[in-house]
Chains A and B, each alone.
Chain A
Amino acid sequence: MTREELLSRKASRNCHGQDSSYFLGWQEYEKNPYHPTTNPAGIIQMGLAENQLSFDLVESWLEGHPDAGELKRDGVSVFRELALFQDYHGLPAFKNALAQLMEEIRGNEVRFDPAKLVLTAGATSANEILMFCLAEPGEAFLVPTPYYPGFDRDLKWRTGVEIVPIRCSSSNGFKITKMALNAAYRRAQKHDLRVKGVLVTNPSNPLGTTMSYDEIDTLLDFVASKDIHLISDEIYSGTNFGSPPFISMAQAVSGRANILARVHIVVSLSKDLGLPGFRVGAIHSNNESVVSAATKMSSFGLISSQTQYLLSQLLSDKAFTANYIRENTKRLKRRHSLLVKGLESIGISCLKSNSGLFCWVDMRHLLNSSTFEGEMETWKKIVYDVGLNISPGSSCHCDEPGWFRMCFANMSEETLHVAMKRLKEFVAEGNGNGGNSCGRSRSKSETKMTKWVLQSSNADATNGKSERFIINRSCPDALSLSIILKSYNTLVVVTVAVYATPSVYLTSTICTISEPTSSPSESEEIKDIIPQMIVATAESRERRNQFRCDRKVEEYEHMRWPMPTSSYGERFRLKVDLKEMQQQSALETVAAEMETKQIYSRSADRKVDSGSVGLMWKWMTGSGYHRIIRLKHQSTLA
């Protein structure tokens, strides 16, 4: 018997995610850390979500209040009380102060009851405790992608709980949609996983965005209808520096008595106050059983009484907290715009964000191939050659290659400038394929694109060539084609999108499928049709003088299989405007035609029946994003 066999599976098996590129980059950084004077060629750490912008505020407070650190009250030592204090209910003074800080951060619009608060050694531990409380080993939680790489370890490792990703795509700014939620739920069921809840980070890590009321509504409806829990990880609540303002789940849920007891909020001082070293996290829940069980479980990660005392003093100083929140968001905003503008000047754009200590950066055009291998290749170049440790999207389980998370608050402004300079050189060296005029050519293609979008939205059918594809415009910067395949159980929509990139070539092709395909024959069919779709997409662009496509089908060879699923268009719009009105009559025509004709005729036995027409109709009308702008459905179908 070997030694490894002696250990538990948790200890010996490599299921803690330590070897993901997220941690790999850290190790690289630790070997060769940047220092402005002693190691100017070292790696700059941009993978650490730490807020060092407002340390001076905490420092000066501590200097002014030495009693807090020395365990004194009015100059008299309170050590005796604290030395023996190990009650897992926490120091009342600290809990009150923490609850008030959380209320203050949320604009005093919600109430955090200290009695519903469970203190833990950091949010890491808080999330794990909630998992222990809410799910058995082998049950599942749905988590929207991209998500914080540490979750793979924090949520799954010891608890045995599975994460089922809710696949979000860049087409709608990685928002959580009803369709994506349902797809994830179905996927979990397909794998015989019982779904116990949804976990979201709001403000999102790694996106830096906050959830809108609509999104929260969708989520809460989903949670209510499936009878499951919702964990809202709000550890970045205090970093909301821009509009729209952050909406806490506590606010959103206040009017909904029926789901009050299944929403659990995780908060922490690591990001809000920039004190990760203090290891302070907390769970706020309206569910008494959860509070009671979690309190008992918190004995596995209690906060030292000395730290609780120190923080109770710090946080009860209202003048300090008010000033801190104001000043901190101001500094974050400045730093954020510095990074965004810096990236913009070298032709790299970011997802529009209003919170967090990082940007979600779009480097899809710098990838040699639009695959995760391509992303790794670029990432390695950036870490080893450029000397920036950033986190690749794949480590966050992003479904689209080419996105990266860059942190901006854990370094000085000078260091950020150095980082920007390095990145600029990298881009200029032609590591994308845009060359020196990269930025300019990008903006050119963008203007062209806008024109085209305008053209096509007028629903002009200038080209007489018949197509069996439906062109859609589900994402603003992509031209895409969809084909609808009728499968035995589900309606499968394959979308091929060709993205506008700085180069004149077709550089990036994204394929998405609305439903995961289960049968191999279906997959084969889709596989066969995709190259044709790419060619068709590319040709339609060429016709519009938009792109010269000389890399059409080869592109497809690099694509990942199976394809990621997308979440286009499940949002239903209440407002139906004129355009959609026209669209509907178009749809009706299609529906009528589809009843008599085959939509997709590779195998003759696959006829579309009126049942599937109804489904398709429903799907199309129910999709606000999915605007069918041109429909040609002629004899070539046969």
Chain B
Amino acid sequence: MTRGSDGEKRSRPHQPHPPSRSNGPAMRIVVPLQGVVQGRGGLVLGSLLPCALFYFLQLYLKRHRSPKNDPSASASASASIIPRTLSRGQLSPRAQPPLSARAAALARPDDDDSLYYAGLRRCAADPYHPTRNPDGVIQLGLAENQLSLDLVQEWLVKNAKEALLGEDKEEGLNIRGLATYQPFDGSIDLKMAVAGFMGQVMRGSVSFNPSQIVLTSGATPAIEILSFCLADTGNAFLVPSPYYPGWDRDIKWRSRVELVPVPCRSTDNFSFSIAALERAYTQAKKRGLKVRAVLISNPSNPVGNLVNKETLYGLLEFVTEKNIHLISDEIFAGSTHGKTKFVSVAEVLDAEALDKSRVHIIYGLSKDLSLPGFRVGVIYSYNENVLNAASKLARFSSVSAPTQRLLVSMLSDSMFISEYLETNRERLQRMYRLFVDALKQLGIECAGSSGGFYCWVDMSKFIQSYSEKGEQKLWDKLLTIAKVNVTPGSSCHCIEPGWFRLCFTTSTEKDIPVVIQRIRKVTESHRMSH
């Protein structure tokens, strides 16, 4: 559609239209008059001669010039009647000049491209509150952790002032370090603090090198920047599905990298296998796609399972054999709640003599420190060229200096951090158990999970037709009847219908019975109709 309108606009310059500047006429009127007034050269020289000359000139031009080449000359005769001030008004207000296809696709304020975003909007319009808005929509579709905010707040109340003022109190408030240009890829102080924090999150199993870090304003630009660095337009990443719905926008939109889902099944608890990757790789190649990387999330979003060591080895072998990159999104690394130990790909790399330059890790403080508002994302790469390019690209998404300074002191307080991580894990664990048990009462089973903020639940027995359509219907019922916003599996590119992602960290313990009661409305009505 846009193509058609483009063609129309392109042809416009050829149409003759009144000139915006009508130089000729103005000149002809003013010049003779001046000749008379000044009395110089007399009427003949002053007015007649130029007039005649111009007349013949116009005549000549009119005959010999096609309007295409000089529209102003050919149109000037007819335009001479029109005063100059009006000529601008004559330009009829045109349709707006076209936007890029990228923008046009997303410019509609209510693009219903994905139920994920549709649900978020509905929730934002009518949010639940136990006392103020008890009939509002309960948000289980987001990915934030509100369980441990009090800990961070407590620290801030105690330390924020000092953190902002800087350690050397005698100098007083020094804004120079805040206001002036800072390195776009993050201050070295914060990089060191983040490296330390990441080490603590991995419980000392790996140590991270600050010089391999590029900081960005959130994990969203981090993954986009990596995509820009690793792939050209039209190249592809293999992504085990179900995967985080935001990636479709984050990766495909501007960098125009294709995502090829590698479907995983409930029988394997949605873990991916190397064989499946291999199949997807071959298929993509057949379609003419150039695969540049494998992108995984570990702990997985939305399922919450961890990738075990053996699979990581297999994966590294796979990417080495195919000569492609591996991006491991580990933003939930510190938010584990199961008994299984989380293994970072960095740990495997440390142990084995493998080609590290193809491995890149995405991290952030949004999940593990519950600070999505502070917008801090991390690219941790073993490839110097990628680091170079990424640090230059970070100029488009830098972290603001006051936030950096605040975080440097927060992350350097390792006592606080280790306490926070422990308490947060305990709370996650407790909340997860409560949620899973409560859902069990409704006959809803969850996939095995040991990390993240979600329950990945199987509600396939409540859908009327075993298809994406049936799933959408149930999602709609949950949103309109039960007033609970969840993320449907189809948004996450899950190939089995009937799975949903429920975030359990945005609710309090008191909310759980409310949630269960509301979902029951839908499940009961389904039972009754059968």
Contacts of B92 in A (CB 8 A): 258
Which residue on chain B has the smallest CB distance to residue A289? B107
Question: Is there contact, CB below 8 Å, between A86 and B31?
Answer: no
Stretch in contact with the other chain, from B125-133, B157-165, B328-336, B522-530: B157-165
Q: Which of A131-146 contact B (CB under 8 A)?
A: 132-137, 139
Stretch in contact with the other chain, from A223-231, A379-387, A478-486: A223-231
Contacts of A157 in B (CB 8 A): 393
Q: Mark B315-330, 1 if CB is under 8 A from A, else 0.
A: 0000000011100000
CB contact between B153 and one of A80, A289, A294 (< 8 Å): that residue:
A80
Q: Mark B216-255, 1 if CB is under 8 A from A, else 0.
A: 0110110010001111110100000000000001100111
Stretch in contact with the other chain, from A398-406, A535-543, A554-562, A570-578: A570-578
Size of A's binding interface in residues, CB under 8 A: 105
Question: Is there contact, CB below 8 Å, between B53 and A591?
Answer: yes
Question: Is there contact, CB below 8 Å, between A10 and B389?
Answer: yes
Question: Is there contact, CB below 8 Å, between A7 and B106?
Answer: no
Query: Does B100 belong to the interface (CB within 8 Å)?
Result: yes
Stretch in contact with the other chain, from A119-127, A504-512, A627-635: A119-127
Question: Is there contact, CB below 8 Å, between B403 and A292?
Answer: no
Q: Which of A157-193 contact B (CB under 8 A)?
A: 157-158, 178
Minimum CB–CB distance for B328 against chain A, Å: 17
CB contact between A277 and one of B160, B373, B400 (< 8 Å): that residue:
B400
> In the complex the two chains form, what is the Cα distance from A276 to B401 in whole Å?
9
* Secondary structure of the A contact surface, majority rule: helix
Given A84-B373, A133-B102, A290-B107, also A278-B392 (CB < 8 A): no
Query: Does B450 belong to the interface (CB within 8 Å)?
Result: no
Given A66-B161, A224-B91, also A296-B106 (CB < 8 A): yes
Question: Is there contact, CB below 8 Å, between A3 and B217?
Answer: no
Given A196-B97, A277-B400, A287-B96, also A137-B233 (CB < 8 A): yes
Q: Which of B399-454 contact A (CB under 8 A)?
A: 399-403, 406
Query: Does A239 belong to the interface (CB within 8 Å)?
Result: no
CB contact between A124 and one of B152, B180, B366, B396 (< 8 Å): that residue:
B396
Query: Does A621 belong to the interface (CB within 8 Å)?
Result: yes
Q: Mark A66-101, 1 if CB is under 8 A from B, else 0.
A: 100111000001011011111000000000000000
Query: Does A279 belong to the interface (CB within 8 Å)?
Result: yes
Question: Is there contact, CB below 8 Å, between A293 and B230?
Answer: no
CB contact between A70 and one of B156, B233, B249 (< 8 Å): that residue:
B156
Q: Which of B4-36 contact A (CB under 8 A)?
A: 9-10, 12-13, 20-21, 23-24, 26-27, 30-31, 34-35
Contacts of A228 in B (CB 8 A): 97
Query: Does A299 belong to the interface (CB within 8 Å)?
Result: yes
Minimum CB–CB distance for B90 against chain A, Å: 10
Question: Is there contact, CB below 8 Å, between B164 and A69?
Answer: yes
Minimum CB–CB distance for B376 against chain A, Å: 8
CB contact between B88 and one of A9, A83, A135, A221 (< 8 Å): that residue:
A221
Question: Is there contact, CB below 8 Å, between A11 and B385?
Answer: yes
Contacts of A18 in B (CB 8 A): 392
Question: Is there contact, CB below 8 Å, between A11 and B23?
Answer: no
Query: Does B275 belong to the interface (CB within 8 Å)?
Result: no
> In the complex the two chains form, what is the Cα distance from A320 to B29 in whole Å?
55
Question: Is there contact, CB below 8 Å, between B400 and A303?
Answer: yes
Query: Does A458 belong to the interface (CB within 8 Å)?
Result: no
Given A84-B146, A262-B97, also A588-B50 (CB < 8 A): yes
Minimum CB–CB distance for B83 against chain A, Å: 12
Q: Mark B359-377, 1 if CB is under 8 A from A, else 0.
A: 0000000100011111110
Question: Is there contact, CB below 8 Å, between B180 and A276?
Answer: yes
Query: Does A388 belong to the interface (CB within 8 Å)?
Result: no
Query: Does A297 belong to the interface (CB within 8 Å)?
Result: yes
> In the complex the two chains form, what is the Cα distance from A79 to B374 in whole Å?
11
Query: Does A366 belong to the interface (CB within 8 Å)?
Result: no
Query: Does A604 belong to the interface (CB within 8 Å)?
Result: no
Question: Is there contact, CB below 8 Å, between B323 and A221?
Answer: no
Size of B's binding interface in residues, CB under 8 A: 114
Q: Mark B25-65, 1 if CB is under 8 A from A, else 0.
A: 01100110011001011000110011001000100110011
Contacts of A7 in B (CB 8 A): 229-230, 383, 385-386, 389
Q: Which of A229-260 contact B (CB under 8 A)?
A: 229, 257-258
Query: Does B108 belong to the interface (CB within 8 Å)?
Result: yes
Question: Is there contact, CB below 8 Å, between A300 and B152?
Answer: no
Contacts of B57 in A (CB 8 A): 614, 617
> In the complex the two chains form, what is the Cα distance from A557 to B232 in whole Å?
44
Stretch in contact with the other chain, from A305-313, A435-443, A493-501, A514-522: A305-313
Given A18-B392, A79-B156, also A8-B230 (CB < 8 A): yes
Q: Which of A251-285 contact B (CB under 8 A)?
A: 257-258, 261-262, 274-280
> In the complex the two chains form, what is the Cα distance from A581 to B60 in whole Å?
23
Given A279-B400, A581-B40, also A136-B373 (CB < 8 A): no
Q: Which of B320-355 contact A (CB under 8 A)?
A: 323-325
Question: Is there contact, CB below 8 Å, between A221 and B232?
Answer: no
Contacts of B177 in A (CB 8 A): 277
Given A84-B144, A614-B60, also A225-B406 (CB < 8 A): no
Question: Is there contact, CB below 8 Å, between A79 and B217?
Answer: no
CB contact between B152 and one of A70, A83, A224 (< 8 Å): that residue:
A83
Question: Is there contact, CB below 8 Å, between B397 and A300?
Answer: yes
Contacts of B176 in A (CB 8 A): 52, 55
Minimum CB–CB distance for A510 against chain B, Å: 28
Question: Is there contact, CB below 8 Å, between A306 and B100?
Answer: no
Q: Mark B182-205, 1 if CB is under 8 A from A, else 0.
A: 100000000000000000000000
User: 9 extra interchain contacts, Cβ-Cβ under 8 A, other than A227-B12, A302-B217?
Assistant: A6-B323, A70-B164, A84-B149, A85-B372, A132-B100, A134-B99, A194-B10, A301-B396, A304-B376
- Show 21 A/B contacts (Cβ-Cβ < 8 Å), sorted by A: A3-B383, A6-B358, A7-B229, A62-B173, A79-B152, A136-B101, A137-B233, A221-B20, A224-B91, A227-B12, A279-B398, A280-B400, A289-B107, A293-B102, A297-B254, A300-B221, A304-B376, A305-B375, A306-B403, A611-B64, A614-B61
Interface residues, chain A, with chain B CB atoms under 8 Å away? 1, 3-4, 6-12, 16, 18, 48, 50, 52, 55, 58-59, 62-63, 66, 69-71, 77, 79-80, 82-86, 121-122, 124-125, 128, 132-137, 139, 153-154, 157-158, 178, 194, 196-197, 221, 224-229, 257-258, 261-262, 274-280, 287-290, 292-294, 296-297, 299-307, 310, 572, 574, 576, 578, 581, 584-585, 588, 591, 610-611, 614, 617-618, 621-622
